[in-house]
């Protein structure tokens, strides 16, 4: 007898330890007593999967891990177009191409933003306004879901959050030297491996610069730290150098 079950968005499980205990018990009991075959498809981030096996590392031998890559922007665009057609709404092509990169190519982000866009739309025409509303709504929603593993949205922020704040305000990949320059912490290198392991940051292969998980993650951080950008010296200096100085130069 063969059973197949799948569990999506593992990061949203409130009691991951209890859930993991039940799953491990089911898998190992059926295997040992030869009562049948059962397969589970668990979908989530590496950090959640690691926590899933914390209580019984030996259970990993029953699981094959498959790393899913992000979708190319062309494919992500096709998903939105298909959804818009099925919803029988029209859309602005320029808006679609402008904002598609915010998803980072992550299927779950694409799904959430797509749902939010259709909920925010009031005239059956998707434009810049609908995209902006949907992005803000999704970014805030993900603070308590997927992005909760990437950033300390609740509680006292630490060195990891300082690095992520700098990357969010910069809005572009930064070298380790520049991150160190703007962060109000003594040594960023103690935090970078853990941030990369969590999926909070990525390294640009060509330059070695550091960037955030996605623009949607950036929007999520900015919505949290907006008031700090001016009040915190290190963020204020970065903001003024990256934006106010550039704006002044463009008006000369």
- The better pLDDT of the pair 229, 204 is held by 204
Q: pLDDT (tens digit, 9 = 90+) per residue, 142-170?
A: 998 889 889 999 988 899 999 999 999 99
CATH 1.10.10, domain 147-250, yes or no: yes
Is the per-residue pLDDT at 202 higher than 70?
yes
Is the per-residue pLDDT at 248 higher than 70?
no
- Cβ contact 62:28 at 8 Å: yes
pLDDT of residue 70: 82
pLDDT of residue 64: 76
| Mean pLDDT, the chain, whole residue set | 84
Q: Which two tokens stand for residue 189?
A: 């290198």
pLDDT of residue 69: 77
Domains 73-144 and 147-250 alike in fold: no
pLDDT of residue 234: 76
pLDDT of residue 144: 87
118 pLDDT band (50/70/90 cuts)? very high
User: How far is C-alpha 25 from the chain's CA centre?
Assistant: 31
1 pLDDT band (50/70/90 cuts)? very low
pLDDT of residue 155: 81
Is the per-residue pLDDT at 136 higher than 80?
yes
User: Helix, strand, coil % (nearest 5) of the chain?
Assistant: 60, 10, 30
Average pLDDT over residues 58-62: 73
pLDDT of residue 237: 84
Is the per-residue pLDDT at 208 higher than 90?
yes
Write the CATH number of the domain with boundaries 73-144.
Answer: 1.10.8
**Bridge partners for 212 per DSSP:** 201
199: left (phi > 0), else alpha (psi -120 to 50), else beta?
A: left
Q: pLDDT (tens digit, 9 = 90+) per residue, 167-201?
A: 999 999 999 999 999 988 889 999 999 999 888 99
- Domain locations in the chain? 2-62, 73-144, 147-250
């Amino acid at each position: 007898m063969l059973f197949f079950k799948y569990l999506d968005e593992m990061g949203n499980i409130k009691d991951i330890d209890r859930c993991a205990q039940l799953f491990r018990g089911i898998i190992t009991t059926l295997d040992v007593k030869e009562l049948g075959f059962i397969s589970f498809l668990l979908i989530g981030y590496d950090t959640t999967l690691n926590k899933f096996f914390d209580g019984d590392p030996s259970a990993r031998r029953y699981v094959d891990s498959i790393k899913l890559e992000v979708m190319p922007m062309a494919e992500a665009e096709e998903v939105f177009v298909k959804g818009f057609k099925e919803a029988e709404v029209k859309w602005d092509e320029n808006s679609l191409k402008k904002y598609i990169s915010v998803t980072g190519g992550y299927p779950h982000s694409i799904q959430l933003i797509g749902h939010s866009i259709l909920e925010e739309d009031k005239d059956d025409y998707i434009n810049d306004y609908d995209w902006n509303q949907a992005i803000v709504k999704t970014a805030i929603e993900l603070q308590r879901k997927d992005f909760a593993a990437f950033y300390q949205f609740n509680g006292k922020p630490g060195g990891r959050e300082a690095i992520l704040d700098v990357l969010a305000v910069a809005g572009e990949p930064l070298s380790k030297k520049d991150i160190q320059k703007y962060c109000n912490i003594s040594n960023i290198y103690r935090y970078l491996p853990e941030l990369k392991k969590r999926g909070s940051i990525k390294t640009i292969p060509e330059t070695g610069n550091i960037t955030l998980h996605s623009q949607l993650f950036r929007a999520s951080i900015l919505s949290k730290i907006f008031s700090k950008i001016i009040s915190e010296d290190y963020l204020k200096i970065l903001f003024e150098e990256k934006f106010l100085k550039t704006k002044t130069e463009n008006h000369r």
